[in-house]
Amino acid sequence: MDLSTFEKDNSVSCRLASQIPDVCRTEDCCLGIDEAGRGPVLGPMVYGICFCPVSKKEELKDLKVADSKTLTEAERENLFQKLDEARSYVGWALEILSPNTISTSMLQRTKYNLNALSHDTAIGLVQYSLESGVQLKEIYVDTVGPAEKYEEKLSQLFPGIKVTVRPKADSLFPIVSAASICAKVARDCVVKGWKFAEDMGEVDTDYGSGYPNDPKTKAWLLKHLDPVFGYPQFVRFSWSTAQTLMDSKAVTVHWYDEEEDGEKAAQRQNNRSMLSYFSASGGGIDQNPTHQTHRFFTERRLRSLDTL
């Protein structure tokens, strides 16, 4: 699998895809969707789709694809090779969501959680296949969130296509298993070959599983935490595991926010804000606005003189 496009800049997300088989442009097709790396605190999350003609379902089944989590790394790579060799009727596409993309999405001002990011990524891949000319008639999805709501959402977005959303779909439908294998192989390759943009010297690549509860992963996070700059972009800094370590081990930094409400800014700096001079509960001071304004600027001038 050629990952060079992503490796050029692993701080942003990237889409990779196979050639579209000619038969997928002329025959009714089924498509499976699954992801790899949703839970880890390290590395990207990869969404994958795999598609083939409905008439080729049995041939796909004969390849003995299975849920990627039940397979060894060698077995997954072998099955991906078989899928690649079946390129005359099997196509795939991947969206590699960088750790940086995941964290900045989840921490932006407008709430955008991992489920929403997952849904939008899956929808984008389906749309890509349709725009590429794949004649989709069936979509099978491993659920994210409540299956019924997700199925209804996809059915409304893609009318005329039969959508099936199920928990553990990667163990129920071979086309989803195939998507799972593509996604997992890609993630494994990315993690193994990760190029650190940061100047970190010699980096210990024994990450463990990358999951927050793995002792090896926790030890790696502790070892590579910079007290000022935090973590390299390999780490999903929005994960609570990373945030807890930064809160306890890193230097506290106070940021000035130009958009911050004046009252909140004043409270944070232990000062009175201008607005407090106009509040209804002004502490017994004259409530006349003209007098209040004069009082505010008089006190401000006096404080300025004190600093001379």
Q: Where are the domains of the chain?
A: 3-193
Max Cα–Cα distance, the chain, nearest Å: 86
Q: CB of 130 within 8 A of CB of 107?
A: no
> In this predicted model, what pLDDT tens digit does every residue of 228-277 receive, in sequence order?
888 999 999 999 889 899 888 888 877 666 665 655 655 655 555 445 55
d(CA 229, CA 250): 8
The band of 295, judged by pLDDT with boundaries at 50, 70 and 90, is: very low
> In this predicted model, what pLDDT tens digit does every residue of 72-92 receive, in sequence order?
889 999 999 999 999 999 999
d(CA 80, CA 123): 23
pTM over 0.85? The answer is: no
- Of the options 3.20.20.10, 3.90.1720.10, 3.10.129.10, 3.30.420.10, the CATH number for the domain spanning 3-193: 3.30.420.10
Percent of the chain residues topping a pLDDT of 90: 59
> In this predicted model, what pLDDT tens digit does every residue of 216-242 receive, in sequence order?
999 999 999 988 888 999 999 999 889
| pLDDT at residue 266, as a whole number | 55
**27 assigned to a ligand binding site:** no
- Those residues with Cβ within 8 angstroms of residue 233's Cβ, 6 or more apart along the chain or in another chain: 10, 11, 98, 99, 100, 197, 198
User: Residue 11: phi, psi to the nearest 5?
Assistant: -85, -15
**142 assigned to a ligand binding site:** yes
Q: CB of 241 within 8 A of CB of 220?
A: no
**34 assigned to a ligand binding site:** yes
Q: Is 208 exposed, middle or buried (0-12, 13-18, 19+ CB in 10 A)?
A: middle
The band of 159, judged by pLDDT with boundaries at 50, 70 and 90, is: very high
